[in-house]
């Protein structure tokens, strides 16, 4: 029968890799949102029609929201590596404790960004 600590360390590594995959997804999503805003702004400038200036200003929010998601992804990576090493030390000393408030904090930030993105899409979608 395998040593239980081996399975615990492997579970810690799998959890770490899941956090990293998620943070990469959030970073890429932020890049796509930001790039979409830049592309939209360029298209509106090329098709300078009546009212395009207001829409171009709204598309600037895409860049801010995209950068926010990218920073969230970076923060998730930092938390992942910190949590991985913290859990590893606790497993080695036999003092493991489940994750604390950091999980709730990251969930709250993710919810806030999701709500901001939803409101942005509603506001920009209603203008058409």
How is residue 69 written in tokens? 């998601």
Nearest Cα neighbor of 11 from 90, 108, 74 is: 90
Give burial (CB, 10 Å; 0-12/13-18/19+) of 4: exposed
How is residue 30 written in tokens? 């932020």
Distance between CA atoms of 15 and 105, rounded to whole angstroms?
18
Cβ proximity of 102 and 73 under 8 Å: no
Q: Is the pLDDT of residue 85 over 90?
A: yes
Q: Is the pLDDT of residue 20 over 90?
A: yes
Q: Is the pLDDT of residue 74 over 90?
A: yes
Average pLDDT over residues 88-110: 85
94: left (phi over 0), alpha (psi -120 to 50) or beta: left
Distance between CA atoms of 25 and 102, rounded to whole angstroms?
19
Q: pTM here?
A: 0.72
Average pLDDT over residues 2-31: 89
């Amino acid at each position: 029968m395998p040593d239980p600590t081996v399975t615990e360390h492997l579970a810690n590594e799998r959890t770490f890799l899941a956090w990293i995959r998620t943070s990469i997804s959030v970073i890429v999503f932020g890049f796509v949102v930001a790039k979409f805003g830049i592309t939209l702004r360029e298209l509106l400038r090329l098709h300078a029609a009546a009212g395009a200036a207001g829409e171009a200003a709204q598309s600037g929010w895409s860049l801010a929201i995209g950068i926010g998601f990218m920073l969230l992804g970076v923060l998730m990576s930092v938390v992942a590596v910190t949590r991985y090493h913290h859990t590893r030390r606790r497993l080695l000393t036999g003092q493991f404790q489940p994750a604390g408030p950091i999980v709730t904090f990251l969930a709250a930030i993710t919810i806030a960004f999701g709500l901001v993105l939803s409101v942005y899409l509603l506001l920009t979608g209603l203008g058409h």
